[in-house]
Structure 1
Amino acid sequence: MVRPRTVHDVASGKLCTGCGVCAYLAPDEVRMVDVLDHGRRPLPITPLRAATRAGDSGAAAGGGAAAALACCPGARLAHESARPEPGEIAELRGAWGPVRAIWEGYAADPEIRYAGSSGGVATALAGYCLTGGGMAGVLHIGARADVPYLNETRLSRTPAELLANAGSRYAPASPCDRLDLIETAGAPCVFVGKPCDVAAVRMARQVRPELDRRLGLTIAIFCAGTPTTRGTLEMLTRLGVPDPARLESVHYRGAGWPGQARARLTDDPPGRQRELSYAESWGDILQKHRQWRCYLCADHTGEFADVAVGDPWYRPTGDDPGQSLVLARTERGVRLVEAAIAAGVLVLTPVAAGILPASQPNLLRARGAVWGRLTTLRLAGLMAPRLRHLPMAGIWWRHLSIGEKLRSTIGTLRRIGRKRLREPAALDPYRPPAQVRSGTAAEPAGRPPE
């Protein structure tokens, strides 16, 4: 099996998650750009030396890039053990990772609950860490100011800033690219991201002691995969947006549960509604544009986070203003969730362990299918991520039908050709239409201003 030598190998091999941790660890060597059909990807700031192309990656990449590969969730994910520790719910450990407590509920503030994609718990808990937990900021993503269908990383310091960015962003994002803002903060901070983002943070804090000291809480959002920018553009077309350069705002969910995808143009008259249902936006469009690495993901529920939040899909949606399923995976997570409940910020009720698999049945089967895909890729001699202590084979055997087993193996063989997995990815930066007309660069050469 082929193994990556640098983060650029991971990206060209179509295993990159787009988290941005490499740009944080090697800011003088790596920059993150948006690639239309792949997602956020690392590009070298200066051309790679011939030694790298010949195989001497260490000489050309230097310490920063070497550390970046060691912390890359696209290349590897690993728990220290597959066995439950004292205090964890043993029956969930094998398929869902470490879980110490499970609640269901919502943000007490109705405005936060309404704006959130489910019950607003991630936003409310992060806000409590600012107002009641003595933390300095929350690192998360939000709509890019100049191109609202793209994302950028932000450090929010007030609950109002968090509320302005509430709701899912089903588009490429690199929240780890600005972990330096946490590292240099005057007090501990919260990190909010997808499971792969939080896994990258978990690895990065092991090599950056100051980052470790400044991380007060990590919150992961359940994830079924990241669609590329191509997916958002198709969704905007379906929403009746003729020119993305005229876009004023786009929302993927929220304003109810699960909420509508919504877009507004700068010249839309008051009251003009451009909407798609969740089934139309995610089910018909966005999920078809997920990056390849998401099909190889065994952690959809944030196993490396302190707290993970997702949708309790076993409940009927529609009239409900929103519910969140909340998992505390560490003792720190338990303490802060319980403190937020006691402070009246969260309205949560403990639920039985069986609620988790009932809420996310598709994610359980997806994890099992990953084993078949990884096995097929390795037998085909292709690059695949290394996953340790994330059990999959038993789920493949027990929970997948014969048809699903065949799709995970034979289907992967077909994808090798259809997705051209033997060919390196073409990582050409995407230039938004407005920037093409103005002649400005699509992405900054280094880190954006704080």
Structure 2
Amino acid sequence: MKRQARDELVKRSGTLARVARGNLCSGCGGCAAVAPSKITMAVQDPGFLRPQISEPLSAREEETVALICPGIGQTVDAENRVDDVIWGPYLKMRTGHAVDQDLRFAASSGGALSAVLVHLLDSGQVDHVIQIGPSNELPTANVTILSDTGSDVLAAAGSRYAPSTPLAELDRHLATGKTFAFVGKPCDIVALRALARVDPRIDAQIPFMVSFFCAGVPSLLGSEKVLEALGTNPDNVRAFRYRGNGWPGRATATLRDGNTRSMSYHDSWGGVLSSHVQHRCKICADGTGVAADLVCADAWSCDAQGYPLFEEQDGISLIVTRTERGENLLQDAVSDDALAVSSFDRNQLENMQPGQTNRRRALLARLAALWILGKPIPRYRGLHLMAMSRQNTVTRNLRNFLGMLRRSLGGRI
């Protein structure tokens, strides 16, 4: 950020200036929810959503932004739950899938999350679901939508590996007086849960907060690179799915002439998108949604050596309940025949989700490199950074420390 722009940002919000200086913004839109008349979210190069501040925040707005911003930090309290060093506090872990086969096929990993949302709408427990869906203007981009029916949820099913800002319009949604289930990235839930401490409307009107395991948010430039690898560009694309329609499903571009082009999940995420993930996600202590009521993820099958397989098959979700409300919701959905579930051995999870495991173990080393350079870093409490670091070898910690040091000194964060 140029000096003049940084100085201007400091005048308007010292908190957001610190976040910008460390490139710590996750793009959740929580700050826009706090001050909707002063902050909007807009795309900045290379294609991430960032706050635009039109005038200085009041003292109260500044205090609230500092309280909720995931870029500032996160505090976790296990509160008599299983306090897993890697996976965070939880009540139970299961595997399962949507009983509705259309949902199971369309969703990214068994459709458990989508099935829970449909159950909430059909049972009248919420009026709407706040979730992310594809943009009509730019099919690789995301917009926040309100789903009112199971058909709406089905249409939005499938992971969307691009920036999203589901909290930005929160004040407008709450002003309707309606009730909602909220689906968001782990950082979105962190901000929403913190905002509930100062805005009583949230607990009253958003009884369910649902999340998913997240490996980071790629930029829109990453999406363009996927299209480039498919031999096309955004102007020629009518619709785009990052995943789904199978498990794991293929990244599929539907062109304006009706033809489709696709590549495997391994190639799209592993080969392209993962290299365009924003800096904040690389130093994230919570890719598993520890603040949510219920979390879903891919329950990958593993080979004989314990490595996850990405071969196409019927989808299976990992389902983690983190609160009593989430556990009751899951049991209700099973009783209503929306979900089929099975028991799960937590000891399988490190092999099933190696990316999450490795990033958590490497985190303290990465943060240490930034701290030595005087860069702003998030403040994490209750997330067991030291214990996780001790699970790593000295060589791996050193490699991550030096890698972050080089990236920072080279201006690549």
- Could you say which residue in structure 1 is the equivalent of 2:211? 220
**Displacement, 1:144?**
1.3
Q: Tell me if 1:69 matches 2:59.
A: no
- Of residues 17, 22, 26, the one that matches 1:17 is 26
Q: Separation in 1 of the partners of 2:294 and 2:176?
A: 21
Q: Separation in 2 of the partners of 1:166 and 1:148?
A: 14
- Could you say which residue in structure 2 is the equivalent of 1:245? 235
- Could you say which residue in structure 1 is the equivalent of 2:305? none
SS of the equivalent of 2:300 reads coil
Q: Separation in 2 of the partners of 1:245 and 1:107?
A: 35
Asked if 1 retains the 8 angstrom alpha-carbon contact of 2:82 and 2:90, the reply is yes
Once the two structures are superposed, residues 393-425 of structure 1 have per-residue CA deviations (whole angstroms, 9 ceiling, x without a partner) of 222122x2333211221111101123355xxxx
- Could you say which residue in structure 1 is the equivalent of 2:139? 148
- Of residues 14, 38, 43, the one that matches 2:52 is 43
1:81-160 pair list within 5 angstroms: 84-86=78-80, 88-90=81-83, 93-160=84-151
**Displacement, 1:212?**
1.8
1:138-217 pair list within 5 angstroms: 138-217=129-208
Q: Separation in 2 of the partners of 1:234 and 1:408?
A: 26
| Amino acid in the other structure paired with 1:412 | M
Q: Tell me if 1:279 matches 2:288.
A: no
**Displacement, 1:184?**
2.9
Q: Structure 2 stretches of 5 or more lacking a match?
A: 1-9, 303-308
- 1:185 and 1:348, CA in 2 relative to 1: closer, same or farther beyond 3 A? farther
SS of the equivalent of 2:227 reads helix
**Displacement, 1:290?**
0.4
**Displacement, 1:345?**
0.1
**Displacement, 1:383?**
0.7
Q: Tell me if 1:294 matches 2:281.
A: yes
**Displacement, 1:216?**
1.5
- Could you say which residue in structure 2 is the equivalent of 1:56? none
**Displacement, 1:69?**
2.5
| Amino acid in the other structure paired with 2:46 | D
- 1:16 and 1:183, CA in 2 relative to 1: closer, same or farther beyond 3 A? same
| Amino acid in the other structure paired with 2:370 | L
- Could you say which residue in structure 1 is the equivalent of 2:247? 257
Once the two structures are superposed, residues 367-398 of structure 1 have per-residue CA deviations (whole angstroms, 9 ceiling, x without a partner) of 12111111121121111011111112222122
Once the two structures are superposed, residues 288-313 of structure 1 have per-residue CA deviations (whole angstroms, 9 ceiling, x without a partner) of 00000011101111000000100112
Q: Separation in 1 of the partners of 2:17 and 2:149?
A: 36
Bigger Cα displacement from structure 2, 305-314 vs 63-72:
63-72
- Of residues 28, 33, 37, the one that matches 2:42 is 33
**Displacement, 1:221?**
1.2
Q: Separation in 2 of the partners of 1:6 and 1:405?
A: 30
Identity %: 36
Q: Separation in 2 of the partners of 1:355 and 1:133?
A: 36
**Displacement, 1:9?**
3.2
Q: Tell me if 1:306 matches 2:293.
A: yes
Once the two structures are superposed, residues 333-361 of structure 1 have per-residue CA deviations (whole angstroms, 9 ceiling, x without a partner) of 00000000000000111212223333212
Q: Tell me if 1:78 matches 2:75.
A: yes
Once the two structures are superposed, residues 235-259 of structure 1 have per-residue CA deviations (whole angstroms, 9 ceiling, x without a partner) of 11111213x1232111100011111
Once the two structures are superposed, residues 420-449 of structure 1 have per-residue CA deviations (whole angstroms, 9 ceiling, x without a partner) of 55xxxxxxxxxxxxxxxxxxxxxxxxxxxx
SS of the equivalent of 2:291 reads coil
- Could you say which residue in structure 2 is the equivalent of 1:414? 406
Asked if 2 retains the 8 angstrom alpha-carbon contact of 1:182 and 1:211, the reply is no
User: How large is the RMSD of aligned CA atoms in angstroms?
Assistant: 1.8
| Amino acid in the other structure paired with 1:100 | L
| Amino acid in the other structure paired with 2:65 | A
TM-score when normalising by structure 1: 0.84
Q: Separation in 1 of the partners of 2:47 and 2:260?
A: 30
Q: Separation in 2 of the partners of 1:283 and 1:198?
A: 26
SS of the equivalent of 1:274 reads strand
Q: Tell me if 1:338 matches 2:338.
A: no
- Could you say which residue in structure 1 is the equivalent of 2:3? none
- Could you say which residue in structure 2 is the equivalent of 1:392? 385
SS of the equivalent of 1:95 reads coil
Count of matched residue pairs: 396
**Displacement, 1:62?**
4.1
Q: Separation in 1 of the partners of 2:64 and 2:360?
A: 28
